[in-house]
Structure 1
C-alpha cells in the first residue's frame, strides 16, 4: 500500500477511499520503493486500481485555508479602481438627468423622455444575470471586456445627433455597465472581510454622481483608460478558485447557460417594450401591446421550465433565488433604486420645466439632496460605531433597522415631493430634498450587505447578479411607467387648466420650449398641469418606498460586526 503524507491537523475524512497510514519522519513523500510496493491481495505486477489511484494522490492540502484579504497599497489601488468604475457607471447612468429637458427641446422629443433612462437600464437588465455566471467562472479581472462596451456606448451618446441615436447609445452603455457594477461588488467582497465592507464607497458614490453631470459623456473616456490599467496591473485576491479559462471556453454554452439567456432576454425585452409603449404610443388595448405581454409571459414560462431542468447550473439557480434573504433583498434593492431613479429624473424636470431654470442651475438646486445623501452614506458606513445620526445608527449592526428607517424617510420625502407646485418656496424644496437624501444614503447599501453576509463566497457572483438585475429591471420598468403616468396626466390636466393651448404643440416643443409661444394665463395653466403631472410620478415613487418597508423584514438578522472571539484573536 502506498504511503500518503497527511499534514498535522488535517481531518481524517478528507480521503474517504484511501486509508491514512502513520506519517514516518524519514518518509516525507512518496519514494521509489513505495511507488513499486505490491498489494498483498494482488499478484506481482498486477496492482489494484485503488492502489494505483492512491499512489498518484498528491499530498493533501488544507481545504479550508484562512481567507487572504488585500492590505495597504494593494487595497488602496483596488478601491480607487472600484470607486472610479462605480462613479463612471453611475455618472453615465444618470448623466442625462440634468440635460433631459434641454435634449427634448433640441430633438423635439418630449415623448422620449422616459426612453433616455429606461434604455440604459434595459441594456443593463438584459445582460445582468449572465454576468453572474461569467464572474463565477472567470476572474473579476474580466471587467475590461464590459468596460470597452461601456466606453463605446458613451462615445455614441456623446456624438448623437438624433433622439434614436442617443437611445441606441444608452442601450450599448447599459450593456457594458451590466458587468461593471456586478464585478465591482464581487471585487469588494473578495478584498475585504464582512465587517469592513459597509465603509467602502458604494453609498458615497451613489450620491456623488450629480456633481459632475454637466461634464458630459466624454468624461468616461480618459478616466476609463486609468481604470483598465489599474484592474490589469493590481493583483485581486480570490476567495474561491475559478476553473482554467480554456476549460470554460471549450464548453461555454454549458458553463454560462447561453440557451437560458437566449430565452430570458427576449422575455424581458418584450415586457419592457410593452410597458414603454403602452398608454403613450399605443393604447393598452392595442394588439401590439397585448401581443408583447403574451409573448413575454410565454417566454418566461419556457425559461422557468428550462431553469428548473438545469438546476444549479442554470443562469439563475433557483436554490439561490429561493433563499429568503436573497429574494427579499432583491425586492428592497430593486424598489429602492427605482425610487432613486424616479426622483433623480423628475426633480430636475420640475426645476427646469416648472421653475424655468437652466440645466446647470437645476444641478445646483439638487445639491441639498446630494449632500444629505453623501453625509448619510458616510455615517452609515461602520454601522454601530458612529454617533453622527444618533441612536438609530448606534444599533447593534443589523441591516433591517437601518433599511426600515430609510424606507420611512424615502416614502415621506417622495410624498412631500408630490406637493410641488409652481409656487413652492425655496425652503420647502430644500428641506424635502434633505429628508429624502438622508433616507437614500442610509438604506442603499443594506440589501447588498445582507446578501453578502448570508450567501457562501462561491455563490456571491450569482447573488450579486440578482441584486444588480433587480436594480436595472426595476429602474427600466418604473421609469417607463413614470413616463406613461406623466404623459397621460399632462394630456388630461392641460385641458383643465389651459383649455386654449394645443397639447401637441406643447409636447413637441420639449420640456421647456413651450415658454417661447405660451404666455400669460395660459402659461400659468400649463405650469400647473406640468407640476401636477410630475406630482403623480412622485406618488408612485412614494409607494415603492413604502413597499421597501414590507420586504425589508425578510432581509435576515445578521450582525455585520466582527465577533468578540475574532477580535480577541487579532
Structure 2
C-alpha cells in the first residue's frame, strides 16, 4: 500500500459520536518512542501492581467470613448488606471517571493516590468502633479501589511492549485472583485465631511495601502528557465530563441498591425496589443522551462503545467476574454447610481451583506472548468453565473428593485461560488516549458483573432453599433454616431431618452453578468478539488490520 493512500484507511465521516480522538495527534504519537522498563525495575513494577490487585480482590471476599463476628460485636445484623455494598457501590460509581485521570495525569502517581485512599479506608475499617464507621471505611476503600485495576493495566501498558503483556497480565491476574478465592480462608483464620480487624490491618504493611517498590521506580508513560498544573488550569472541566459523572454515579448507585435491597428487607415488587430500578433507568437514559451530545470528550465516548472489540471484551469481563464472584461465595458455602467443614478447611478444599487457575493463567499468558493469539484461550477457557460449572451443579452431600477436586480443577483451568483475554484484547486494539478510558469501561463492567450476578445468585439460592426443603424435608421450618444461616441450620434441624436438609442445600447450591454455566456459555459467545489479532504484529500491520 502506498504512503499516500494509507491515511485514508484511518479516516471516517466526522461525527461527535464516532470521531477518532487520536487522529489530530497522530504525528506526535508516531514520533514518540516509548522507553520500556527492564531488569530489576520491571520486577519491582510487576511485583507492586500485582500486590495491589491481590489486595483489591482479597478485600472483596475476605469480609464474608468476618461478618458474623462483626455483627456480634456491633449488634448490627441489619447492616450486613452494607458491609459489601458500600464498597461495591462507591467503586462502580467512580470507575468510568478514573479513565480520564489516567489519560491526562501521571499513571504512577494517580495509581498511588487511589491506592492511598484504599489504604485509608482499610485503616478506618480496622479502627472502627461502630457499624457506621465500618461502613464509611468500606465506602472509602471502594473509592480507592475504583482506580486500582485500571491503574495497574495502564502502568503495565507503559512499562512493557504489547507482545510481552499477556505473560505479565497472566502473572498479575493469576496471583491477584488468589485473593478473591482465598479471602474467605484468610478472613476465617484471622477471625478464629486473632481478630476480624486484621482483615483490614493486613493491607497496611503490604501497602508500605508497594510504596517502597513503586515510589522510587521510574514508570514511563504510554505517551507524552502535559504538566498536571496545565490540565487543572485550562482543561479540567472540559476534559473530565463532570456532568456525565454526576449522572452516571446516581444511576449506578440506584441500580446496585435495588439489587441489594431486592429480597433483603424489601420484596422485589416493593415500591422501593421498583422505584430504584425506574430511577436508575431514567438517569441512565439521560446519561447516554448527554454522552452522545458531548462526543469525544465524554466520560464513556460513543466510538469506544461502538468498537466491537472493546464492547465484547467488556461484556466478556462482566461474565467472567460475575461467575467468579458467585463461585467464590457458594463453593465455600457448599463445603461449610453441606460437608460441615470449618472456614479454614473449606479454604484448603478450594486449592484445586486456586492452583489450576494460577498455573493456567501463567501458561496461557506466556504462550500468548510466544504465539501471538489470545482468542483461542478465550474460547478454551469458556468451554472448560461451562463444563466445570455444569459438573459442579451435581455436587451432593456424598460427592467423593476426586470428583469435586476434578470439577474444581476444570473451572480453575478455564478461568486461568480466559481471565486475561479481555485485558490483552483491549490493549491490542485501542491506542493513544483511548486506552485508559477503554480499560476503565472494562473494569466498570467487571464490578457491575460481580454485583449483579452475585445478587442473582443469592436470589436463586434463596428460592432454591424455599422450594427444596419442603420437597425433601416437609416437616422442617424453612424460614428457621434460612434465619439460622449457612452453618447454623444444623442447630435448628433434628438429626433425623438433617440428611434431607443437606440434600436440599446441595441442590440449591447446584442451581447457582447452573447460573455459572449459563455465564460461561455467554463467555463463549463474547470471546469470539475479541478479534483474531496477534500481539506480535507490527504497528503498521495492525493499522491495516483495523
Same fold (TM over 0.5): yes
Q: Determine if contact 2:317/2:422 at 8 Å carries over to the other structure.
A: yes
Task: Give the counterpart of 2:211 among 228, 232, 242.
Answer: 228
Counterparts of 1:230-269 in structure 2, within 5 Å, are: 230-250=213-233, 251-269=235-253
**2:42 aligned with 1:75, yes or no?**
yes
- Give the corresponding residue for 2:417: 442
Task: Give the counterpart of 2:267 among 261, 283, 286.
Answer: 283
- Give the corresponding residue for 2:176: 206
- Give the corresponding residue for 2:144: 176
Deviations 1:522-551 (A, max 9, x none): 222322222222111111111111001111
Instruction: Please report how far the alpha carbon of residue 122 of structure 1 lies from its aligned counterpart in structure 2 after TM superposition.
Output: 2.6
Counterparts of 1:252-401 in structure 2, within 5 Å, are: 252-383=236-367, 396-401=371-376
Counterparts of 1:415-430 in structure 2, within 5 Å, are: 415-430=390-405
Instruction: Please report how far the alpha carbon of residue 513 of structure 1 lies from its aligned counterpart in structure 2 after TM superposition.
Output: 1.7
Deviations 1:327-384 (A, max 9, x none): 0011111101111111111101111111111111011000010110011111112225
**2:542 aligned with 1:538, yes or no?**
no
Q: Determine if contact 2:163/2:536 at 8 Å carries over to the other structure.
A: yes
Higher helix share: 2
Name the TM-score, length of structure 1 as normaliser: 0.81
Q: Determine if contact 2:89/2:142 at 8 Å carries over to the other structure.
A: yes
Deviations 1:262-304 (A, max 9, x none): 1001111111221222244322222112211111111011101
Q: Distance between the aligned counterparts of 1:419 and 1:107, measured in 2?
A: 39
Task: Mark the structure with the bigger radius of gyration.
Answer: 1
Instruction: Please report how far the alpha carbon of residue 208 of structure 1 lies from its aligned counterpart in structure 2 after TM superposition.
Output: 2.6
- Give the corresponding residue for 1:30: none
Instruction: Please report how far the alpha carbon of residue 564 of structure 1 lies from its aligned counterpart in structure 2 after TM superposition.
Output: 12
Deviates more, 1:515-524 or 1:359-368: 515-524
Gap change, CA 1:326 and 1:229, over 3 Å in 2: same
- Give the corresponding residue for 2:161: 193
Deviates more, 1:429-438 or 1:151-160: 151-160
Deviations 1:95-135 (A, max 9, x none): 23555677788889999877655543332211110100111
Q: Determine if contact 1:490/1:533 at 8 Å carries over to the other structure.
A: yes
Q: Distance between the aligned counterparts of 2:343 and 2:314, measured in 1?
A: 33
Aligned length: 499
Counterparts of 1:407-556 in structure 2, within 5 Å, are: 407-556=382-531
Q: Determine if contact 1:102/1:510 at 8 Å carries over to the other structure.
A: no
Deviations 1:137-168 (A, max 9, x none): 11112122212221233234445577766555
Q: Determine if contact 1:351/1:362 at 8 Å carries over to the other structure.
A: yes
Name the TM-score, length of structure 2 as normaliser: 0.85
Deviations 1:152-185 (A, max 9, x none): 3323444557776655543332221111111000
Instruction: Please report how far the alpha carbon of residue 231 of structure 1 lies from its aligned counterpart in structure 2 after TM superposition.
Output: 2.5
Cα RMSD, aligned residues only: 2.7
For the residue of structure 2 that corresponds to 1:457, the secondary structure is: coil
Gap change, CA 1:113 and 1:455, over 3 Å in 2: same
Q: Distance between the aligned counterparts of 1:344 and 1:169, measured in 2?
A: 23
Q: Distance between the aligned counterparts of 2:68 and 2:486, measured in 1?
A: 5
Gap change, CA 1:169 and 1:493, over 3 Å in 2: farther
For the residue of structure 2 that corresponds to 1:383, the secondary structure is: helix
Instruction: Please report how far the alpha carbon of residue 75 of structure 1 lies from its aligned counterpart in structure 2 after TM superposition.
Output: 1.5
Q: Determine if contact 2:157/2:427 at 8 Å carries over to the other structure.
A: yes
**2:99 aligned with 1:132, yes or no?**
yes
Q: Distance between the aligned counterparts of 2:72 and 2:483, measured in 1?
A: 8
Deviations 1:468-504 (A, max 9, x none): 1110111011111111222222233223333333333
Q: Distance between the aligned counterparts of 2:78 and 2:346, measured in 1?
A: 21
Gaps of 5+ in 1: 1-10, 12-59, 387-395
- Give the corresponding residue for 1:14: none
Gaps of 5+ in 2: 5-26, 191-198, 542-546
Q: Distance between the aligned counterparts of 1:234 and 1:116, measured in 2?
A: 35
Gap change, CA 1:507 and 1:163, over 3 Å in 2: farther
For the residue of structure 1 that corresponds to 2:154, the secondary structure is: helix
- Give the corresponding residue for 2:16: none
Q: Distance between the aligned counterparts of 2:90 and 2:500, measured in 1?
A: 38
- Give the corresponding residue for 1:51: none
Q: Distance between the aligned counterparts of 1:547 and 1:363, measured in 2?
A: 28
Q: Distance between the aligned counterparts of 2:407 and 2:135, measured in 1?
A: 32
Q: Determine if contact 1:101/1:510 at 8 Å carries over to the other structure.
A: no
Gap change, CA 1:160 and 1:512, over 3 Å in 2: farther
For the residue of structure 2 that corresponds to 1:301, the secondary structure is: helix
Gap change, CA 1:165 and 1:422, over 3 Å in 2: farther
